[in-house]
Amino acid sequence: MNHWALTGFLREHYTASQTAAYELAAYLIAVDNHSRKQHSMARDNEPQQSWANQLSAPVERPPESIPTR
């Protein structure tokens, strides 16, 4: 959502003035941008996994082989 659309939405539904809506929109966009930057930096530090490893959970194995009957 862009700044203009967010300001309009906040003005219509949540704030009493255009100024308050503009300031709140600026704050929310700044927080969102900071959060995305932090998330991106954290993701860049993680080791890359193959596509298959990202979708499946680790397979649990018994501690020993299971005897056959």
- Measured CA to CA in angstroms, residue 17 lies from 14, 30, 31, 45 at distances of 9, 20, 21, 43
Higher pLDDT, 14 or 41: 14
Domain ranges of the chain: 3-42
Give the pLDDT confidence of 19-66 residue by residue, as tens digits. Answer: 999 999 999 999 888 777 766 665 656 565 555 555 556 667 767 777
Q: Note if the pTM is more than 0.85.
A: no
pLDDT of residue 57: 61
Q: Contact at 8 Å (CB) between 11 and 21?
A: yes
